Amino acid sequence: MEIERLRHLLDHWIEHNDEHVKKYREWAEKIRSEREDIAELIEESISHFERGGEILKKAVERL
């Protein structure tokens, strides 16, 4: 029972993470012409979120 709940939560977290990444990319592009430095930092954070998503997907695969 707990495993199925965890699988559901992991799927939800992955989807939620992907939604955040999409918004971060949008904002990096919006701000780029005014603040390249901030856009670059947002992009750097995106790589971390994407890596986290990959790790969560590995957890789902192992369930």
pLDDT tens digits for range 3-37: 999 999 999 999 999 999 999 999 999 999 999 99
Residue 42: count other Cβ atoms within 10 Å of its Cβ: 20
Angle at 51 between CA 46 and CA 54, to 5 degrees: 130
Whether the Cβ atoms of residue 56 and residue 13 lie closer than 8 Å to each other: yes
Considering the entire predicted model, what is its pTM?
Answer: 0.85
- Residue 63: strand, helix, or coil: coil
Q: Which band of pLDDT confidence, cut at 50, 70 and 90, is reported for residue 1?
A: confident
